[in-house]
Protein backbone atom coordinates (compact mmCIF):
# COMPACT_ATOMS: atom_id res chain seq x y z
CA UNK A 1 0.00 0.00 0.00
CA UNK A 2 -0.54 2.76 -1.38
CA UNK A 3 -2.14 6.15 -1.38
CA UNK A 4 -3.11 8.01 1.71
CA UNK A 5 -5.21 10.97 0.69
CA UNK A 6 -7.89 9.18 -1.31
CA UNK A 7 -11.50 8.55 -0.31
CA UNK A 8 -11.66 5.06 -1.69
CA UNK A 9 -8.36 3.75 -0.48
CA UNK A 10 -7.44 5.41 2.79
CA UNK A 11 -7.61 2.57 5.32
CA UNK A 12 -9.16 3.98 8.46
CA UNK A 13 -8.84 2.69 11.96
CA UNK A 14 -12.22 1.71 13.53
CA UNK A 15 -12.23 4.95 15.50
CA UNK A 16 -11.52 6.95 12.38
CA UNK A 17 -14.25 5.06 10.50
CA UNK A 18 -16.74 5.98 13.20
CA UNK A 19 -15.62 9.60 12.99
CA UNK A 20 -15.97 9.56 9.23
CA UNK A 21 -19.47 8.04 9.41
CA UNK A 22 -20.40 10.80 11.84
CA UNK A 23 -18.93 13.35 9.44
CA UNK A 24 -20.92 11.71 6.62
CA UNK A 25 -24.22 12.16 8.44
CA UNK A 26 -23.33 15.80 9.06
CA UNK A 27 -22.52 16.19 5.41
CA UNK A 28 -25.91 14.75 4.44
CA UNK A 29 -27.72 17.36 6.54
CA UNK A 30 -25.62 20.14 5.05
CA UNK A 31 -26.22 18.87 1.54
CA UNK A 32 -29.94 19.37 1.95
CA UNK A 33 -29.42 23.02 2.84
CA UNK A 34 -28.00 24.14 -0.49
CA UNK A 35 -25.21 23.95 -2.98
CA UNK A 36 -22.85 26.33 -1.15
CA UNK A 37 -23.23 24.36 2.04
CA UNK A 38 -22.68 21.07 0.26
CA UNK A 39 -19.47 22.34 -1.28
CA UNK A 40 -18.26 23.39 2.15
CA UNK A 41 -19.26 20.06 3.65
CA UNK A 42 -17.46 18.02 1.06
CA UNK A 43 -14.41 20.22 1.50
CA UNK A 44 -14.56 19.67 5.27
CA UNK A 45 -14.86 15.93 4.84
CA UNK A 46 -11.88 15.97 2.50
CA UNK A 47 -9.84 17.88 5.06
CA UNK A 48 -10.99 15.50 7.77
CA UNK A 49 -9.98 12.37 5.89
CA UNK A 50 -6.72 13.84 4.68
CA UNK A 51 -5.66 15.03 8.11
CA UNK A 52 -6.59 11.83 9.95
CA UNK A 53 -3.74 11.27 12.33
CA UNK A 54 -1.13 8.70 11.47
CA UNK A 55 -0.11 6.78 14.57
CA UNK A 56 3.44 7.62 15.55
CA UNK A 57 6.00 4.89 15.90
CA UNK A 58 6.58 5.93 19.50
CA UNK A 59 3.55 3.78 20.30
CA UNK A 60 5.80 0.79 19.71
CA UNK A 61 8.49 1.93 22.10
CA UNK A 62 7.75 -1.06 24.31
CA UNK A 63 8.33 -3.53 21.49
CA UNK A 64 11.36 -5.66 22.33
CA UNK A 65 14.74 -5.70 20.69
CA UNK A 66 15.75 -2.49 19.01
CA UNK A 67 18.28 -3.89 16.51
CA UNK A 68 21.30 -1.84 15.50
CA UNK A 69 22.36 -1.75 11.84
CA UNK A 70 25.19 -0.48 9.67
CA UNK A 71 24.92 0.77 6.11
CA UNK A 72 27.46 -1.09 3.97
CA UNK A 73 26.45 0.29 0.57
CA UNK A 74 24.27 3.02 -0.91
CA UNK A 75 23.16 3.24 -4.53
CA UNK A 76 20.85 5.45 -6.56
CA UNK A 77 17.23 4.32 -6.81
CA UNK A 78 14.95 5.45 -9.62
CA UNK A 79 12.51 7.87 -7.92
CA UNK A 80 9.90 6.94 -10.53
CA UNK A 81 9.56 3.60 -8.79
CA UNK A 82 6.54 3.47 -6.49
CA UNK A 83 8.10 0.58 -4.61
CA UNK A 84 5.71 -2.19 -3.59
CA UNK A 85 7.88 -5.29 -3.58
CA UNK A 86 11.63 -5.91 -3.75
CA UNK A 87 13.57 -9.15 -4.07
CA UNK A 88 17.23 -9.96 -4.69
CA UNK A 89 18.15 -12.54 -7.34
CA UNK A 90 21.76 -13.39 -8.11
CA UNK A 91 23.12 -9.85 -8.43
CA UNK A 92 19.88 -8.32 -9.67
CA UNK A 93 17.06 -6.63 -7.84
CA UNK A 94 13.51 -7.21 -8.98
CA UNK A 95 11.12 -4.44 -8.00
CA UNK A 96 7.37 -4.00 -8.45
CA UNK A 97 6.05 -0.47 -8.88
CA UNK A 98 2.40 0.25 -8.06
CA UNK A 99 -0.52 2.55 -8.94
CA UNK A 100 -3.41 1.94 -11.36
CA UNK A 101 -2.55 2.23 -15.06
CA UNK A 102 1.13 2.57 -14.16
CA UNK A 103 2.15 -0.69 -12.52
CA UNK A 104 5.18 -2.58 -13.77
CA UNK A 105 7.93 -4.93 -12.68
CA UNK A 106 11.60 -4.13 -13.34
CA UNK A 107 14.73 -6.26 -13.06
CA UNK A 108 17.94 -4.25 -12.72
CA UNK A 109 21.55 -4.81 -11.83
CA UNK A 110 22.07 -4.15 -8.12
CA UNK A 111 25.51 -2.63 -8.72
CA UNK A 112 25.02 -0.60 -11.91
CA UNK A 113 21.25 0.06 -11.83
CA UNK A 114 21.11 -0.98 -15.48
CA UNK A 115 17.62 -2.22 -16.37
CA UNK A 116 17.77 -5.83 -17.50
CA UNK A 117 14.08 -6.03 -18.39
CA UNK A 118 10.77 -4.45 -17.53
CA UNK A 119 7.17 -5.63 -17.83
CA UNK A 120 4.13 -3.35 -17.76
CA UNK A 121 1.08 -4.79 -16.05
CA UNK A 122 -2.58 -4.55 -17.09
CA UNK A 123 -4.09 -1.16 -16.19
CA UNK A 124 -6.57 -2.61 -13.69
CA UNK A 125 -3.81 -4.21 -11.62
CA UNK A 126 -2.22 -2.14 -8.84
CA UNK A 127 1.05 -4.04 -8.32
CA UNK A 128 1.89 -5.07 -4.78
CA UNK A 129 4.39 -7.44 -3.19
CA UNK A 130 6.55 -9.93 -5.09
CA UNK A 131 8.44 -13.09 -4.18
CA UNK A 132 10.56 -15.58 -6.11
CA UNK A 133 9.41 -19.13 -5.52
CA UNK A 134 10.12 -22.32 -7.53
CA UNK A 135 11.45 -20.32 -10.47
CA UNK A 136 8.34 -18.17 -10.64
CA UNK A 137 7.94 -14.53 -9.68
CA UNK A 138 4.66 -14.24 -7.78
CA UNK A 139 3.02 -10.81 -7.77
CA UNK A 140 0.09 -9.66 -5.65
CA UNK A 141 -2.41 -7.01 -6.66
CA UNK A 142 -3.89 -4.59 -4.14
CA UNK A 143 -7.66 -4.92 -4.55
CA UNK A 144 -8.21 -6.92 -7.74
CA UNK A 145 -7.69 -10.26 -5.95
CA UNK A 146 -5.36 -11.42 -8.72
CA UNK A 147 -2.11 -13.27 -8.13
CA UNK A 148 0.10 -13.24 -11.24
CA UNK A 149 2.91 -15.73 -11.76
CA UNK A 150 5.61 -14.40 -14.07
CA UNK A 151 8.62 -16.03 -15.66
CA UNK A 152 11.46 -14.40 -13.67
CA UNK A 153 13.86 -14.63 -16.62
CA UNK A 154 11.59 -12.82 -19.09
CA UNK A 155 8.96 -11.23 -16.78
CA UNK A 156 6.31 -12.73 -19.07
CA UNK A 157 3.05 -13.47 -17.23
CA UNK A 158 2.48 -17.24 -17.05
CA UNK A 159 -0.82 -17.60 -15.21
CA UNK A 160 -3.14 -15.89 -12.75
CA UNK A 161 -5.05 -17.07 -9.69
CA UNK A 162 -7.89 -15.41 -7.77
CA UNK A 163 -7.78 -14.81 -4.01
CA UNK A 164 -9.99 -13.12 -1.46
CA UNK A 165 -9.19 -9.81 0.20
CA UNK A 166 -6.44 -7.25 -0.29
CA UNK A 167 -2.90 -8.06 -1.31
CA UNK A 168 0.01 -6.14 0.25
CA UNK A 169 3.23 -8.11 0.86
CA UNK A 170 4.37 -11.66 0.01
CA UNK A 171 7.34 -13.86 0.87
CA UNK A 172 8.13 -17.57 1.45
CA UNK A 173 10.16 -19.80 3.75
CA UNK A 174 11.07 -22.33 1.06
CA UNK A 175 7.90 -24.33 1.65
CA UNK A 176 4.99 -22.02 2.30
CA UNK A 177 3.99 -18.53 1.17
CA UNK A 178 3.24 -15.71 3.63
CA UNK A 179 1.03 -12.78 2.61
CA UNK A 180 -0.01 -9.56 4.33
CA UNK A 181 -3.21 -7.59 3.73
CA UNK A 182 -2.66 -4.43 5.76
CA UNK A 183 -3.98 -5.92 8.98
CA UNK A 184 -1.99 -7.59 11.80
CA UNK A 185 -2.74 -11.03 10.33
CA UNK A 186 -0.28 -12.81 8.08
CA UNK A 187 -1.73 -15.59 5.95
CA UNK A 188 0.27 -18.76 5.35
CA UNK A 189 -0.60 -20.27 1.97
CA UNK A 190 0.04 -23.46 0.03
CA UNK A 191 2.18 -22.49 -3.00
CA UNK A 192 0.42 -24.73 -5.52
CA UNK A 193 -3.12 -23.46 -5.03
CA UNK A 194 -2.50 -20.30 -2.96
CA UNK A 195 -5.09 -21.78 -0.54
CA UNK A 196 -4.95 -20.65 3.09
CA UNK A 197 -3.14 -23.12 5.35
CA UNK A 198 -3.18 -21.08 8.56
CA UNK A 199 -3.09 -17.51 9.77
CA UNK A 200 -0.61 -15.83 12.05
CA UNK A 201 -1.59 -12.95 14.33
CA UNK A 202 1.36 -10.60 14.79
CA UNK A 203 1.53 -9.27 18.31
CA UNK A 204 3.88 -7.25 20.42
CA UNK A 205 4.63 -9.75 23.22
CA UNK A 206 5.39 -6.94 25.67
CA UNK A 207 1.90 -5.47 25.44
CA UNK A 208 -0.12 -8.11 23.59
CA UNK A 209 -1.07 -5.38 21.13
CA UNK A 210 -1.77 -6.15 17.50
CA UNK A 211 0.82 -4.92 15.03
CA UNK A 212 -1.35 -3.85 12.13
CA UNK A 213 -0.57 -2.27 8.72
CA UNK A 214 1.95 -4.99 7.92
CA UNK A 215 3.14 -4.41 4.38
CA UNK A 216 6.25 -5.54 2.45
CA UNK A 217 7.59 -8.89 3.67
CA UNK A 218 10.92 -10.69 3.43
CA UNK A 219 11.85 -14.09 4.84
CA UNK A 220 15.50 -14.23 6.00
CA UNK A 221 17.53 -15.63 8.87
CA UNK A 222 14.59 -17.95 9.73
CA UNK A 223 12.41 -14.94 10.48
CA UNK A 224 9.81 -12.82 8.72
CA UNK A 225 10.84 -9.19 8.28
CA UNK A 226 7.91 -6.85 7.81
CA UNK A 227 7.72 -3.18 7.13
CA UNK A 228 4.80 -1.45 8.84
CA UNK A 229 3.08 0.92 6.42
CA UNK A 230 3.70 4.64 7.02
CA UNK A 231 6.39 3.97 9.59
CA UNK A 232 10.16 3.84 9.31
CA UNK A 233 10.36 0.58 11.17
CA UNK A 234 10.94 -3.00 10.01
CA UNK A 235 9.84 -5.69 12.45
CA UNK A 236 11.34 -9.13 12.91
CA UNK A 237 8.58 -11.69 13.45
CA UNK A 238 8.73 -15.29 14.63
CA UNK A 239 7.02 -17.24 11.80
CA UNK A 240 5.60 -19.84 14.20
CA UNK A 241 4.26 -17.70 17.03
CA UNK A 242 3.69 -14.34 15.31
CA UNK A 243 5.57 -12.64 18.14
CA UNK A 244 7.71 -9.63 17.31
CA UNK A 245 11.29 -10.45 18.30
CA UNK A 246 13.03 -7.27 17.18
CA UNK A 247 12.70 -4.01 15.27
CA UNK A 248 14.95 -1.89 13.12
CA UNK A 249 14.32 1.85 13.10
CA UNK A 250 15.40 3.25 9.73
CA UNK A 251 14.36 6.84 10.35
CA UNK A 252 17.88 8.11 9.63
CA UNK A 253 17.69 6.69 6.09
CA UNK A 254 14.47 8.46 5.10
CA UNK A 255 15.30 11.04 2.39
CA UNK A 256 14.98 14.63 3.63
CA UNK A 257 12.35 15.47 1.00
CA UNK A 258 10.14 12.60 2.19
CA UNK A 259 10.51 13.09 5.96
CA UNK A 260 6.85 14.09 6.39
CA UNK A 261 5.41 12.21 3.44
CA UNK A 262 2.57 9.76 3.97
CA UNK A 263 3.04 8.33 0.52
CA UNK A 264 6.76 8.16 -0.20
CA UNK A 265 7.37 5.78 2.67
CA UNK A 266 9.75 2.94 3.44
CA UNK A 267 8.61 -0.09 1.48
CA UNK A 268 11.26 -2.39 0.09
CA UNK A 269 13.18 -5.20 1.78
CA UNK A 270 15.33 -7.62 -0.21
CA UNK A 271 17.77 -10.04 1.41
CA UNK A 272 21.13 -10.76 -0.24
CA UNK A 273 22.18 -14.11 1.29
CA UNK A 274 25.78 -13.85 0.11
CA UNK A 275 26.35 -10.62 2.01
CA UNK A 276 23.86 -11.53 4.75
CA UNK A 277 22.46 -8.04 4.33
CA UNK A 278 19.23 -6.33 3.27
CA UNK A 279 18.61 -3.86 0.46
CA UNK A 280 16.02 -1.39 1.70
CA UNK A 281 14.35 1.53 -0.04
CA UNK A 282 11.02 3.36 -0.22
CA UNK A 283 8.42 4.64 -2.66
CA UNK A 284 9.98 7.32 -4.87
CA UNK A 285 13.14 7.31 -2.78
CA UNK A 286 16.24 8.50 -4.68
CA UNK A 287 18.46 5.98 -2.91
CA UNK A 288 18.55 2.40 -1.71
CA UNK A 289 20.78 1.12 1.05
CA UNK A 290 22.37 -2.21 1.85
CA UNK A 291 22.21 -2.68 5.59
CA UNK A 292 23.64 -5.28 7.88
CA UNK A 293 21.52 -5.89 10.92
CA UNK A 294 23.58 -6.51 14.00
CA UNK A 295 22.76 -9.33 16.40
CA UNK A 296 20.85 -10.18 18.50
CA1 LIG B 1 10.81 -8.36 -0.27
The tens digit of pLDDT for each residue in 103-151 reads 999 999 999 999 999 999 999 999 999 999 999 999 999 999 999 999 9
Distance (angstroms) between ligand 1 centre and the Cα of 283 equals: 13
> Which H or E element spans position 37?
helix 35-50
Distance 217 CA to ligand 1 centre (A): 5
To the nearest 10 degrees (0 to 180), the angle between helices 14-31 and 35-50 is: 170
> Cα(17)–Cα(112) distance, rounded to whole angstroms?
46
**Which pLDDT value is given to residue 193?**
95
Task: Assess contact for 192 and 205: CB atoms under 8 A.
Answer: no
Question: How many of the other CB atoms lie within 10 Å of CB of 219?
Answer: 21
How far, in Å, is the centroid of ligand 1 from the Cα of 218?
4
Distance from residue 269's CA to the centre of ligand 1 (Å) = 4
**CA-CA distance, 130 to 277, in Å (whole number)?**
19
Provide the pLDDT for residue 63.
57
Do the beta carbons of residue 237 and residue 203 sit within 8 Å? no
What pLDDT does 295 receive? Answer: 76
90 C-alpha to ligand 1 centroid (Å):
14
Q: For residue 272, what pLDDT is reported? A: 98
Q: For residue 10, report the distance from its CA to the centre of ligand 1, in Å.
A: 23
Q: What is the pLDDT of residue 207?
A: 79
CA-to-CA separations, 17 to 24, 46, 55, in angstroms, rounded = 10, 14, 15
For ligand 1, the distance from its centroid to the CA atom of residue 225, given in whole angstroms, is 9
Question: d(Cα 288, Cα 292) in Å, to the nearest integer?
Answer: 13
Q: Global pTM? A: 0.81
Whole-number pLDDT of residue 2: 59
Distance 68 CA to ligand 1 centre (A): 20
Question: For residue 184, how far is its CA from the centre of ligand 1 (angstroms)?
Answer: 18
From the CA of 97, how far away is ligand 1's center (Å)?
13
Give the pLDDT means over successive 10-residue stretches in the chain (296 positions).
43 34 37 41 37 42 79 97 96 97 98 98 97 98 98 98 97 98 97 96 87 96 95 94 93 90 90 97 96 88
The span from the CA of 165 to the CA of 1, in Å, is 13
| All domains in the chain, ordered by first residue | 14-50 (no CATH), 59-293 (2.130.10.10)
d(CA 233, CA 38): 40
CA 268 to ligand 1 center in whole angstroms: 6
pLDDT, position 3: 57
Q: If you count them, how many residues does the chain have?
A: 296
- Predicted pLDDT of residue 19: 32
pLDDT the model gives residue 21: 38
User: Can you give the pLDDT at residue 64?
Assistant: 67
Q: What separation in Å is there between the alpha carbon of 250 and the centre of ligand 1?
A: 16
* pLDDT value of position 205: 82
Amino acid sequence: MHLFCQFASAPLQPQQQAKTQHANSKVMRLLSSGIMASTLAVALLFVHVCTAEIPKEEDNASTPGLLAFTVIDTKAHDPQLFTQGLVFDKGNLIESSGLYNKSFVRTYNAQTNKTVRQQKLPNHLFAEGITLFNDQLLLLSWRAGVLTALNPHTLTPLKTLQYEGEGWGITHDGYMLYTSDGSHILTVRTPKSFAIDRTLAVLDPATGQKLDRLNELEFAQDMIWANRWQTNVIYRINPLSGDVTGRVNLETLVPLEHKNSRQSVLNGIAYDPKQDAFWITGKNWPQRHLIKILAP
